[in-house]
Structure 1
Amino acid sequence: MATDNGPGATDATARSSPHDFLRSVLRHDVPASVVVFLVALPLSIGIAVASGAPVAAGLIAAVIGGVVAGSLGGSALQVSGPAAGLTVVVAETINQFGWRATCFIVAAAGVLQILFGLSRIARAALAVAPVVVHAMLAGIGLTIALQQSLVLLGGVSSSSSLDNLAALPEGLRAARWGEVVVGGAVMAILLGWKFVPARIRVVPAPLVAILAGVALAFVLPTSVERIMLNGSLFDAMSLPEVPAAPWWSVAFTVLTIALIASVESLLSAVAVGRMRGGERADFDRELIGQGSANVLSGLAGGLPVTGVIVRSATNVRAGARSRASAVLHGVWILVFSVALVGVVEQIPKAALAGLLIVIGVQLVKLAHIKRALRTGDLLVYVVTVSGVVFGNLLEGVVAGLALAFALLLWRVAKVTITAAPVPGADRWLVTVDGSCTFLALPKLSAKLADVPAGVDVTVEMTVDFLDHAASEAIAEWAEHREKNGGTVDFVEMGTARMARADTAPPVRGQSRKVIDEAIGPWRRTGGVDPIAAGIAAYHRGHAHLLRPHLHGLRDRPDAGTFFLTCADARIVPNVITNSGPGDLFTVRNVGNLVPVGGSDVSVEAALIYALDKLDVRSVVVCGHSGCGAMEALYGQVRAGPGLDDWLAHAQPTLAAFHRGHPVAEAARLAGFGPVDQLGMVNVARQVATLIDYPAVRAGMAERGVAVTGLFFDLATARVIEVTADGIGEFDDVRGRIAAEPV
């Protein structure tokens, strides 16, 4: 539920009364904001240090991200601030343009984000292959970990991963043991925090780790380098300056920061929504909020702001109910940064390095690597990570996207073509599976040339895209073979068809067309025999699919179910039961009736044959909505000599209906009209009649034969179960269990 009138809110109290809202904020959001503040403070400082920016820049971004993005964003529980995902690109920007020019670029990126939001194209930012995003974050994480490893050893890091890697042996040789102990202790606490008792884990691990690092720095008999703040947070604020660089270089950097910050924020918003049971954020509003925060952060001398999943997840787990938590966490950081500057200056750089190394390593997720391996995208993942680590962020992402796009084109355009003799027959089978375009012509021509002259050929096409060039090549080949005395039979099982290739531009086929052609009603055309046309379509499109199955059934006339249903042409038993040839022994008559006595013994004869000869284990009666027989019965309409005599078998049903049968009452409560209520009562009565048959009773006692009543509602295309005293839906769980192999 929502917390305010804006999109993405999560608590109804904001719309109920100010008193209830205030009580919810005090009870849930204030405690959560304190927890998030304790997590965000060391992270903000550490990210500023890792970026090569002033320490205060991280705190400024945290304050503005919390207050501005928290107030204006489209995800109520998302917490924004400086993020590790932009550390590398910010460091490169500072090296290229300087710090104050970087602030100008951050503000310009914010303006661009606002334009993205106002243009309502926010969802387009998510149109990036997930494997590239995951690999980008992993590459950033490895870059941060490698960079901060030198800081933890007491050295100085470079902006180049190759330089940092080359300097690592010398850094190990000249390591300052005090820095290593402090950083190592921080890492040990962070990694081992999940093993401590749950009541202690309420305290955020980063806070405990940093406090432990500060304490160690005081007691160790050696000096440990600490961070430096030049005055209070307000003293550190500075106006940006226009970069003295080519405009295209500045514009490119602005676009890079805007895109990365937008994608990271939107992905974080999606993750927060999933944590909250699938809540949907307003993506356009989220970009406007993030852009506004970046404009102010850049103007005030802060780092870029994004939605941060670490802080957001902490916010959700801490029990936040509204955006007040994110706003308050920014307020607490502001108060701390202004009033307690001396406390901040006691934090060792090695402690922050240990914190950032763990954060960086945790950005490399084994689950993402396993998924890339399963989906065939591991090469994209490796290329992107390598590009980010050993090149730069943009090069890595561009390389990953280019490879992902090339892989997509290959998969979409891929077609499998085979040509081989059919075992035991003087016939060859050619199969074409996939998207058949002009790109497949070399392979297609080679496979078609493998078919010997003079043999009959079946061409089985499971094609979802067929262009004119491929269609023409296949048609010309078939025509040439037929002129030389051979035969070519086409079996088209895909959504793209040869007959349509010459009449319109190629489009990807729609599965609905296949369904219409397989089970849809005939499209009556003047002068065309629908039976003949239907049989021709069956031979061309579906006979080939049934042939292997029916071949195995030719000496096995047994069935699993005796199925009695109405003669109405709209009821297709195999479709509504998802069954195939050999499954149902079907008997149909007007009104799905079971005659008792008299001269008509057709149902009884079929039932005895099914039970004794076919060994069926299930007996089913299926009625349907809008049944003409039930309409005539309900209205006592004279239907003629033959039908009146037949409907006399349903008089017990009509009497039970008027007596108030429980099935009729259940159907009425479900919203069905009188005729359909009567139809359901009729099913229940016919089931009871069948159970009284001696052969059915013997089957139930000896072999566990089940007798079931069904009702097919044409309006909703749903099958309803009819019992002796009510109706019910078939649930998916029962269907899954029934479908599982024994």
Structure 2
Amino acid sequence: MTTATTPRPALIPAHIRRHLTGLLPGPADLAPMRTSWRRDLIAGITVGVVALPLALAFGVSSGLGASAGLITAIVAGVVAAVFGGSHVQVSGPTGAMAVVLAPIVAAHGPHAVIVVSVIAGVILVAAGALRLGRVVVYIPWPVIEGFTAGIALVIALQQVPLALDTSTPTGERTMLAAYDAVRLADWSHAWLPLTIALGVVVLVEALRRLPGSLPGALIAVVAATIVAEVAGLNVTRIGELPSHLPMPSIPMIDPSILSELAGPALAVAALAAIESLLSARVAAGMAPTGRVLPDREVFGQGLASIASGLFGGMPATGAIARTAVNVRAGARSRLSAVTHAVLLTAVVAFGSGLASRIPLSALAGVLIATTLHMVNPREVRGLMKVGRSTAATFVVTIACTVLLDLLTAVEVGLVLAAFFALRAMADTTHVATQPLPGPPTRGDEHIALLRLEGSLFFGAADRVMDDIADAEAWVVILRLSKVELLDPTGAHRLAEIVRLLEARGVTVLIKGLRNRHQRMAARAGVLEALRTDQHLFNDLDVAVAHARSHVARQLAGQPVPRRR
């Protein structure tokens, strides 16, 4: 005879195992490659050409040097492409991240950035495992569109010095740098690189309108480079590149500065998550590139930053400009981002001499052409027509993105959107006086039937409660069945009004308090403020009958029951 054994419970619940498994690469990642691998290879080459000078420039502007930017583009680019949550996201160093890192380098030295990159990566990995990547769904439409439009303006402004072959002070605000570049440009020479940049823009746009999927950016850059070489034009080129990549190593962490680096690491992680998630979401809106998995995207960016730090690079994020170039070039799978990293590696190993001859103004033209299509004019027109609050959030987010920084822009946009949302929700909350049901009865004029509709929360509690307090009656019946939200402030103010009315000799009856609100009402003292537990009703007719009997006793001169 055999006895059944009770199965031992799993150490990790099934839903958690499914979530953690979903953070890792799977067969679904390979599916798009079967039909788009040719376009992906071309897109990867195109993005690689565009990413090369950006990686070098962002490395320099961060204070870590050009090689750190290139390392980040290669290492983080591959890791994020494999483990990230978007099929077309291109990751690497970005201007926003360089701005955040520059003060860290100045205060603690380049070595501290490697530590920050690893710590921030660990934070992002934990955030993905804890399902915190879904925070992007709480970012409203006008903030996303404003962020995207602001980024497009920032990218375009960043190209002005390159298009004019003019140098600007490191760390200067983008708009000021563009203004100074125009003001200080030597126009006897600047017209030449500017012509190259504008020519690239025109060529990219012309090729975009042709049938098929020609790699317009790649063709334009090659054409500009050939013209510059054949004509011997005196324009600034990419220049000398690093000759090799370092081997990975575990950074030496000084415990004495860990507490000082914790704050910057958290800020870096927040910026990486927000910028990557928004970039992936923008890419998903530009073309049918598949669903974005936010938790996996955050997880993948964390692994990318850890890997980049171990190789001596900097924290990485999804790069909107390069991702937009990738999508516009026809990418539909992760192969394009991997190809872009492989191309950068090949350039370091074999083609640094040839790539060094590319005019910077040609690459500026590619990015300017890209910004022209980052924002959908139809979306903007629709957004501006929705309402003034939506338009204001959109415009303010753009302004903060251009004038301040990306993280501040998102924060301000969220606060502004939340304020307008709360104000709109408060406007839907009101008190309506209703007639009593059934045939009129003597004394009905002494009964006030008040119906609360909407949300009784901190943004509307005072106004609504003042309307109730103004009721002149012997009995007030509060209908709460249409109250969708009751927060602690609303419940507290309701309790205060009940006590105020009862102190004036007005009997308060509550009808229709929802089950999910009863605990909040009890904790705030609403039920305790009622004269008796029998003044809480679920049926309106019963509540009205009780009120009429109460008024009838008063009209007959009978004593009115006081509080229990």
TM-score class normalised by the smaller sequence? 0.5 to 0.7
Cα pair 2:203 2:216 within 8 Å, conserved = no
Offset at residue 232 of structure 1 (A): 2.0
Retained in 2: the 8 A contact 1:77–1:326? yes
1:68 matched to 2:90: no
Deviation at 1:441, TM superposition (A): 5.2
1:549 alignment counterpart? none
SS at match of 2:245: helix
Structure 2 residue 442 is matched with structure 1 residue 434: no
Q: Find the partner of 2:404 among 380, 383, 391.
A: 391
User: Could you tell me how far 1:268 is from its partner in structure 2?
Assistant: 4.5
Report the 3-state secondary structure (helix = DSSP H, G, I; strand = E; otherwise coil) of the residue aligned with 1:336: helix
1:81 pairs with 2:89: no
C-alpha displacement at 1:103, in angstroms? 4.2
Q: Kindly indicate whether residue 356 of structure 2 is the aligned counterpart of residue 345 of structure 1.
A: yes
Structure with the bigger RCO (C-alpha within 8 Å, sep 6+) is 2
Paired with 2:417 and 2:224, the residues of 1 have a C-alpha distance of 43
Mapping for residues 377-388 of structure 1, pairs under 5 Å: 377-388=390-401
- State whether residues 272 and 312 of structure 1, in contact with CA within 8 Å, keep that contact through their aligned partners in structure 2: yes
1:198 to partner: Cα distance: 5.2
Contact 1:36 1:314 in 2 (8 A): no
Report the equivalent of 2:153: 142
Tell me, in whole angstroms, the C-alpha distance in 1 between the residues paired with 2:520 and 2:376.
Answer: 44
Report the more deviating stretch, 162-171 or 117-126: 162-171
> Is structure 2 residue 17 aligned with structure 1 residue 9?
no
For the structure 1 residues 78 and 166, does the alpha-carbon distance in structure 2 shift closer, same or farther, using more than 3 Å as the test? Answer: closer
Quote the Cα distance in structure 1 between the aligned partners of 2:393 and 2:483. Answer: 28
Amino acid at match of 2:404: G
Secondary structure in structure 2 of the residue aligned to 1:226: coil
Separation of aligned partners in 1, 2:247 and 2:366: 24
CA contact (8 A) 1:47 1:84 kept: no
- Residue among 386, 402, 406 paired with 1:374: 386
Work out whether 1:536 is the aligned partner of 2:541: yes
Report the CA distance between 1:229 and its aligned residue: 2.0
Number of aligned residue pairs: give it.
Answer: 490
Is the Cα–Cα contact under 8 Å of residues 88 and 144 in structure 1 kept in the other structure?
no
Query: 1:364–1:419: structure 2 CA closer, same or farther, 3 Å change rule?
Result: same
Quick check: 1:126–1:266 contact (8 Å CA) kept in 2? no
Using structure 2 for the length normalisation, give the TM-score: 0.67
Give the distance between the partners of 1:106 and 1:390, measured in 2 at CA: 26
- Compute the displacement of 1:307 (Å): 3.6
> For 1:614-645, what per-residue CA distance to the aligned partner results, in whole angstroms no more than 9, with x for missing partners?
xxxxxxxxxxxxxxxxxxxxxxxxxxxxxxxx
1:505 aligns with 2:520: yes
Question: Separation in 2 of the partners of 1:401 and 1:131?
Answer: 9
Q: Does 1:112 align with 2:119?
A: no
C-alpha distance in structure 1 between counterparts of 2:205 and 2:106, whole Å: 38
User: 1:36: how far off?
Assistant: 1.9
Q: CA deviation at 1:341?
A: 0.7
Show CA shifts across 1:93-115 (max 9, x none): 55665555434433432233233
Match of residue 54 from structure 2: 46
Pairing of 1:266-665 with structure 2 (within 5 A): 266-269=277-280, 279-280=290-291, 283-308=294-319, 323-359=334-370, 366=377, 367=379, 370-371=382-383, 374=386, 376-411=389-424, 416-417=429-430, 432-437=452-457, 440=460, 442-448=462-468, 462-466=482-486, 467-472=490-495, 497-498=512-513, 503-506=518-521, 536=541
Residue pair 2:136, 2:278 contacting (<8 A) in 1 also? no
Tell me by how many angstroms 1:339 deviates.
1.0
Which amino acid in 2 is paired with 1:29?
A: W
Aligned counterparts of 1:162 and 1:322: Cα–Cα separation in 2? 35
Matches within 5 A, 1:87-236: 88-90=99-101, 99=110, 101-124=112-135, 127-129=138-140, 131-158=142-169, 164-165=175-176, 168=179, 171-172=182-183, 174-187=185-198, 189-190=200-201, 193-196=204-207, 199=210, 202-218=213-229, 223-234=234-245
Query: What 5-or-longer segments of structure 1 have no aligned partner?
Result: 14-23, 508-532, 541-742
Looking at structure 2, the residues matched to 460 and 74 of structure 1 have their Cα atoms a distance apart, in angstroms, of: 44
Task: Tell me which amino acid in the other structure corresponds to 2:84.
Answer: G
How many angstroms does 1:38 deviate by? 1.7
- Return the letter of the residue paired with 1:391: L
What amino acid sits opposite 2:166 in the alignment? G
Give the letter aligned to residue 455 of structure 2: S
Matched to 1:536, the amino acid is: D
Contact 1:142 1:360 in 2 (8 A): yes
1:177 Cα shift?
A: 4.8
The 3-state SS of whatever aligns with 1:504 is helix
Structure 2: runs of 5+ lacking an equivalent: 1-23, 523-537, 546-564
In the TM superposition, residue 49 of structure 1 has moved relative to its aligned partner by 1.8
Q: Is the 8 A contact 1:91 1:159 kept in 2?
A: no
Q: Secondary structure at the match of 1:45?
A: helix
2:350 partner amino acid: A
- How far the C-alpha of 1:45 sits from its partner, in A, is 1.7
Compare the two structures and name the one with the higher helix fraction. 2
Change in CA separation of 1:283 and 1:500 when aligned onto 2, cut-off 3 Å: closer
Does structure 2 retain, via aligned residues, the 8 Å contact 1:97–1:243? Answer: no
Whose radius of gyration is greater, 1 or 2? 1
Gap change, CA 1:403 and 1:211, over 3 Å in 2? same
Conservation of the 8 A alpha-carbon contact between 1:419 and 1:447: no
The Cα shift of 1:77 comes to 5.0
Aligned position for 1:29? 37
- For 1:73 and 1:47, the matched residues in 2 are separated by 20
Tell whether the 8 Å contact from 1:73 to 1:287 is kept in structure 2 after alignment: yes
Distance, in Å, in 2 between the alignment partners of 1:166 and 1:266 is 28
Amino acid in the other structure paired with 2:81: G
Cα 1:233/1:451, change in 2 over 3 Å = same
2:407 and 2:424 mapped to 1: Cα distance? Answer: 25
The one-letter code sitting in structure 1 at the alignment partner of 2:44 is V
> For residues 123 and 168 of structure 1, what CA distance do their matches in structure 2 show?
38
Q: Deviations over 1:300-359 (max 9, x none)?
A: 344543344665566677776764454344223322332111122112233333444455
Alpha-carbon displacement from aligned partner over 1:422-460 (angstroms, at most 9, x marks no partner): 9xx998996643222476454235434666779999979
2:225–2:359: 8 Å Cα contact kept in structure 1? yes
Change (3 A) 1:88 1:145: farther
Alpha-carbon deviations, 1:579-638, whole Å to 9, x = none? xxxxxxxxxxxxxxxxxxxxxxxxxxxxxxxxxxxxxxxxxxxxxxxxxxxxxxxxxxxx
Of the structure 1 ranges 247-256 and 468-477, higher mean CA displacement relative to structure 2 is found in: 468-477
RMSD: 5.0
Q: Does structure 2 conserve the Cα–Cα contact (< 8 Å) formed by 1:158 and 1:164?
A: no
Q: Name 1:568's counterpart in structure 2.
A: none
Alignment-derived partner of residue 274 in structure 2 = 263
Distance in 2 separating the partners of 1:459 and 1:535: 8
Once the two structures are superposed, what CA deviation does each residue of 1:660-687 show, in whole Å capped at 9, x if it has no partner?
xxxxxxxxxxxxxxxxxxxxxxxxxxxx
When residues 483 and 446 of structure 1 are mapped into structure 2, their CA distance, relative to the original with a 3 A threshold, is closer
